[in-house]
């Protein structure tokens, strides 16, 4: 068995730096009140010795675990297969890593998973939680609240319990949908169809609302329900063509749905964009660039949304409430479009239409 060298201690760092153990502790734990010269000597000694703070002891001092739970209300087969989640998790991970925090990923698929996540959050293992991809009547918000864990949600909440401390980050889904449908109408398309996402999620409901804003009198047959997957896009496109063979444009609620729709249009001999123009939503690379032809779509900053969620949570932990941090972000962050004036406090990120070859 290989013997390992003993780990450097606070006392060893103090001796190397020529300061007291208490001074080392204050510097290591980020406390104020240490002269710059002494703090620099401590940091240099920490680096030379390779000292790593004991997290358990550090937590007793700072009352922080330097860990954040990221809770996705989806099964693992969906999270690990959908590039949307990869981009959002990348943004969260970058922000947490930059602030020396660990990401703890928790996925939910059924009742037992919800109970497990609730127990974990209530157990005091993390400083806060980032929760996204919620569905209608999802128990997660109640579990998080019962656990008393500071939380930032990804996506506009669909519940109203009279509280004004629910903080969220979302994209301008309704406005982005309007821009997509306005673009199709501007091309002279008159029979514009919509493939929705799962309507128990606010992002899909808001995109459908944006479609209806522009086409209030559209034939109900021009709307088909999808599920944010390419397979769902294929099924919805077949349904639309069977019902409305004369359609000349499609707004799909996300890029994966649009990719599925494009495959079916090709199978049915419909030329894109000559016969049918198509616009997606997300601008997920490489999906949008690798469709045939490359997809015109509404860009939302998915990674930026994850990054901002983490930033708001960490600021809230420092300041006391994430709601204050959300207000600050809306006022000072260039990537925040606006904060709604009504409760709950949220930050809405802008969307833009990206022109490629399908419309």
CB atoms within 10 A of CB 228: 25
More confident residue, 143 or 161: 143
Instruction: Quote the pLDDT of residue 323.
Output: 59
- For position 64, what pLDDT does the model report? 63
Q: So what's the pLDDT on residue 327?
A: 56
Does 286 sit behind a cis peptide bond, omega within 30 degrees of 0 on the bond before it?
Answer: yes
Rounded CA separation 228/16 (Å): 58
Q: How confident is the model at residue 282 (pLDDT cuts 50, 70, 90)?
A: very high
- Coil, strand or helix at 211: helix
Query: If pLDDT is split at 50, 70 and 90, which confidence band does 42 have?
Result: confident
For the segment 248-275, the average pLDDT, to the nearest whole number, is: 98
pLDDT of 45 reads 86
Distance linking the first and last C-alpha atoms of the chain = 65
Spatial contact of 213 and 236, defined as CB atoms under 8 Å apart: no
pLDDT tens digits along 68-82: 999 999 989 899 989
Q: How far apart are CA 145 and CA 30, in angstroms?
A: 29
Tens of pLDDT, residue by residue over 108-159, are 987 788 989 999 999 888 999 999 999 988 999 999 989 999 999 999 998 7
In this prediction, what percent of the chain has a pLDDT beyond 90? 62
The whole-number pLDDT of residue 12 equals 86
DSSP per residue, 295-348: PEEEEE-HHHHHHHHHHHHHHHHHHS-HHHHHHHHHHH-TT--B--SSSSPEEE
How does pLDDT run across 218-258, given as a tens digit for each residue?
999 999 999 999 999 999 999 999 999 999 999 999 999 99
As given in the structure block, the two tokens for residue 138 are: 């999802």
- Would the pLDDT of 260 be above 70? yes
The mean pLDDT value for 275-298 works out to 95
Among the residues of the chain, which ranges form H helices? 10-17, 21-28, 36-49, 55-62, 76-79, 83-98, 111-122, 140-147, 173-186, 202-214, 230-243, 255-267, 287-290, 302-319, 322-332
pLDDT at 88 over 50: yes
State the Cα–Cα distance between residues 299 and 89, nearest whole angstrom: 17
pLDDT for the residue numbered 60: 45
Q: Which residue has the higher pLDDT, 329 or 208?
A: 208
How high is the pLDDT of residue 340?
Answer: 42
Neighbours of 100 (CB within 10 A): 8
DSSP 267-282: HTT--TTTT-EEEEEE
pLDDT of residue 4: 56
pLDDT per position as a tens digit, 318-353 = 776 555 555 555 555 545 544 443 445 789 999 999
Q: Compute the average pLDDT of residues 23-27.
A: 82
């Amino acid at each position: 068995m290989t013997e390992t060298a003993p780990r450097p201690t606070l006392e060893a760092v103090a001796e190397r730096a020529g300061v007291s153990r208490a001074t080392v502790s204050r510097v290591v734990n980020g406390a104020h009140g240490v002269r710059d010269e002494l703090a620099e000597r401590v940091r240099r000694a920490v680096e030379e010795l390779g000292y790593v703070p004991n997290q358990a002891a550090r937590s007793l001092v700072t009352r922080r675990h330097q860990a954040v739970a990221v809770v996705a209300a989806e099964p693992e087969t969906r999270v690990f297969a959908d590039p949307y989640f990869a981009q959002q998790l990348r943004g969260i991970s970058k922000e947490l890593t930059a602030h020396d925090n660990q990401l703890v990923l928790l996925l939910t698929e059924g009742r037992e998973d919800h109970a497990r996540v609730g127990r974990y959050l209530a157990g005091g293992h993390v400083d806060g939680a980032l929760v996204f991809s919620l569905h209608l009547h999802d128990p997660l918000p109640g579990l998080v609240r019962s656990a008393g864990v500071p939380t930032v949600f990804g996506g506009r909440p669909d519940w109203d319990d009279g509280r004004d401390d629910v903080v969220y980050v979302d994209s301008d889904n309704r406005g982005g949908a309007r821009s997509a449908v306005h673009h199709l109408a501007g091309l002279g398309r008159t029979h514009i169809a919509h493939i929705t996402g799962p309507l128990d999620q606010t992002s899909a409901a808001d995109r459908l609302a944006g479609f209806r804003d522009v086409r209030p009198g559209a034939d109900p047959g021009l709307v088909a329900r999808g599920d944010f997957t390419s397979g769902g896009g294929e099924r919805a496109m077949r349904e639309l063509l069977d019902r409305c063979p004369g359609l000349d444009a499609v707004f799909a609620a996300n890029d994966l749905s649009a990719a599925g729709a494009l495959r079916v249009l090709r199978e049915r001999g419909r030329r894109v964009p000559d016969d049918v123009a198509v616009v997606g939503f997300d601008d997920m690379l490489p999906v949008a660039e690798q469709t045939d032809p490359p997809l015109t779509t509404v860009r939302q900053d998915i990674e930026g949304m994850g990054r901002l969620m983490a930033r708001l949570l960490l600021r809230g932990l420092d300041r006391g409430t994430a709601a204050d941090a959300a207000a600050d972000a809306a006022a000072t962050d260039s990537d925040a479009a606006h904060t709604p004036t009504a409760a709950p406090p949220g930050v809405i990120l802008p969307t833009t239409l990206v022109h490629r070859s399908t419309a």
